[in-house]
Structure 1
Amino acid sequence: MSSPHIFSCRIYYEDTDLAGIVYYANYLKFIERARSEWVREIGVDQVALKAEQGIVFAVRRVEADYLSPAKFDDVIAVETRVQDISAARITLTQDVSRGGVALFRAVVTLVCLGADGRPTRLPADIRQLMQR
């Protein structure tokens, strides 16, 4: 596995449900934001990648485990690690925690799609950036 990328964010009122805990689907938003920041920070411009090569990343599968609730005003950290990269697929683990307490864990499989919406090979330069 690669070294982790860490993305931190605060839980706002809008993220919570009537019980005052984070609504379960919002964890998917948090890990999506973390993946977007990771890709940006390793030097991949997704807008340019789409415009110049017609390539986009799409979520194919998410395995999610809800371990403990986050609450309003918590600061959480999303740790993203590359688990595996193949020709057109990237598998990541994403762990959400608060002060070292595990809250949520996901294994996310992304696929690389071409302009026609079909799987396409991940460019070698991007694969190298992701494997660092």
Structure 2
Amino acid sequence: MTHQFPVRVYYEDTDLAGIVYYANYLKFIERGRSEWVRSIGINQDRMKQDEGLIFVVRRVEADYLIPARYDDELIVETEVIQLGSTFVELNQKVLRGSDTCFTAVVKIVLINNSGRPARIPAELRPKLSAG
């Protein structure tokens, strides 16, 4: 299943040439991941408070394909590629209509309060795999 999150490009998102500054794509996909997690019923604040667990980005492989520009309406798509014992690997795309502007493979890892990898709790696994 693919989650979709709309983003509009604002002036602050662009560089001197009027195109989206490369680092802002990482912000766009972060928002998409946060909304995906929320949409599948995971409350990250509660998970941190109650269990001392948080998701963090371990790795991002990004490809910048075509530029997005000021005032473009974009869609961030998020899809699970792989669910491991301590990680989730996601495919994320930033689309403008049928054009793909940016793609990324993102690996997020669950860690505990000590910063060590932690097993994804059994009750979260069906939510993550269905998301």
The TM-score with structure 2 as length reference comes to 0.98
User: Aligned-pair distance for 1:98?
Assistant: 0.2
**What amino acid is the match of 1:14?**
E
Where do 4+ consecutive residues of structure 1 move more than 6 Å?
none
Query: Which of residues 59, 64, 67 is equivalent to 2:65?
Result: 67
Q: Match for residue 7 of structure 1?
A: 5
1:30 aligned to 2:28? yes
Counterpart of 2:95 in 1: which secondary structure? Answer: strand
Q: Alignment RMSD, CA only?
A: 0.5
Percent identity, please: 55
Deviation string 1:61-103 (CA, Å, 9 cap, x unpaired) is 0000000000000000011000001100110000111011010
How many corresponding residue pairs?
130
**What amino acid is the match of 2:122?**
A
Q: Match for residue 50 of structure 1?
A: 48
User: Runs of 5+ in structure 1 lacking a partner?
Assistant: none
- Write out aligned runs for 1:1-132 (5 A): 3-132=1-130
User: Runs of 5+ in structure 2 lacking a partner?
Assistant: none
Partner Cα separation in structure 2 for residue 125 and residue 71 of structure 1: 41
